[in-house]
Chain A
Amino acid sequence: MRACGFIGLLLLAVVSASAQVDLSGSWSPSRATGPGAPAPPTPVQLKPAYKPAYDAQRAKEREANARGEQLATKGLCSPYGMPTMMQVAVYPMEIIQTPKQVTIVAEAFSEVRRVYIGKPQLPIDDVAPGYYGRSVGRWDKDTLVIDTVGIKENVPGYQGMPHSDQMRITERIRRATPDALHDQVTIEDPMVLEKPVTYTLVYKLMPDYEMVEFVCDNNREYVDENGIVRMRLRDK
């Protein structure tokens, strides 16, 4: 009887493990249109305490652009952190998958996230704030659901929006087709957002791609006394 129970548990573990979809590989930012395309992003609706400052900052950025200048919005050699690191320009990311951990490596700035599969999430206040926070994951059929908390307040938010240390990011990652990955990102922040924001990132598979090293050791852009990004020149 005890042996039957053991075999049952073993079978359950095998079935559970095989239920995991293989997300591993290198993925390049892409977009999808037409049938199967994800829904467009929901709007960012900030609470009244945050909206005026956010709108003013965006207006300053637009005015600077109109003058032919760029306002610095982050340290020019610092990483993006979550959630921005999940899609930076055309830089690929690599997913390394094991039954107990999914590791996501972004090529831009060599950023790394570790998603612990099957572990419970900690209370937000128990997670030391950082660029990537603490991520735990579970499988919902063919979808990896990731819960992330513990993002530092100075880490740039989605579309430059402010966020508090209570921000929670939920991602649903799945292979929409054999060659396409969708990451539906939902950001909740009871301190800052009136409503959660949801948007979907799309990637295409890059078979046999070898990730390129990215160490930010030759940054020639600097921020002047007015917060404007400038280029440092050499004389030889």
Chain B
Amino acid sequence: MYSDASPRRFAVRLKFVCALVAVVAFAASARAHHSFVMFETTKQVSLSGTVTSFEWTNPHTYIELDVKDAAGTVKHWSIELGSPSILQQSGWKHNTLKKGLEVTLLVNPLKNGNPGGLLIQANLPDGKKLGNGPGRGPQ
């Protein structure tokens, strides 16, 4: 009969627990730099508009975007991305976006309803899709 208390079962469980602890510890350290808690990560908004500036800066990169609604009214959005170090690991460059470029951005909006968000994916005019750093898209 195979017992739960067998040394082999115990060793397997210990390995599993150690691996789990290591994963949790890494996740905690990875989260340490920035919390995304101000963004509604369960909600996605698609914004099509004109880039007014692309700021390749620290601690975050930003896309400023003018979005025109059906009535022609322009609403301005500020979209946060990761830092240049993080973005360049997933295909972004300092000149990926330029003022005047028409793009579609998929974002998690701010929870407080203000016109700001966290980038999920940028769809560029040439068909290229870029996410928000390693492990964060594109979808």
Which A positions have Cβ atoms within 8 angstroms of B? 29, 31-34, 37-41, 64-65, 68-70, 76-77, 84, 87-92, 107-108, 159, 199, 201, 212-220, 229-231, 233-236
Contact = CB atoms under 8 A, between A and B. Distances in A.
Nearest to B89: A90
B78 interface: yes
Interface in B31-83: 31-35, 37-38, 40, 52, 55, 57-60, 62, 64, 66, 76, 78, 80, 83
A161 to B, nearest CB: 13
A89 B23 contact: no
Given A37-B19, A70-B37, A229-B35, A216 B58 contact: yes
B1 interface: no
Contacts of B89: 90
A214 B83 contact: yes
Interface string B87-126: 0110000000000000000000011001110000000000
Contacts of B110: 231
Given A40-B21, A69-B38, A217-B58, 15 more contacts: A29-B30, A33-B23, A34-B19, A39-B18, A40-B22, A65-B37, A87-B29, A89-B30, A91-B85, A91-B86, A108-B85, A212-B88, A214-B58, A231-B110, A234-B64
Contacts of A68: 37-38, 40, 111
Given A37-B22, A229-B35, A235 B59 contact: no
B10 to A, nearest CB: 16
Interface of B: 15, 17-19, 21-23, 25-26, 28-35, 37-38, 40, 52, 55, 57-60, 62, 64, 66, 76, 78, 80, 83-86, 88-89, 110-111, 114-116, 133-134
Nearest to A61: B35
B25 A40 contact: yes
B78 A233 contact: yes
B32 A33 contact: no
B134 to A, nearest CB: 6
21 contacts: A31-B26, A33-B23, A37-B18, A65-B37, A68-B111, A70-B38, A77-B59, A87-B29, A88-B29, A89-B30, A89-B31, A107-B85, A108-B33, A159-B28, A201-B29, A212-B84, A214-B59, A231-B78, A234-B64, A236-B66, A236-B76
A218 B62 contact: yes
A64 B111 CA distance: 13
Nearest to B84: A212
Given A87-B29, A88-B33, A220 B19 contact: no
Contacts of A32: 22
Contacts of A233: 78, 114-116
Contacts of B23: 31, 33
Q: Which among A65, A91, A108, A219 has the greatest number of chain B C-beta atoms within 10 A?
A: A108
A41 B18 contact: no
Q: Which among B17, B29, B34, B133 has the greatest number of chain A C-beta atoms within 10 A?
A: B29
Contacts of B58: 213-218
Contacts of A38: 22
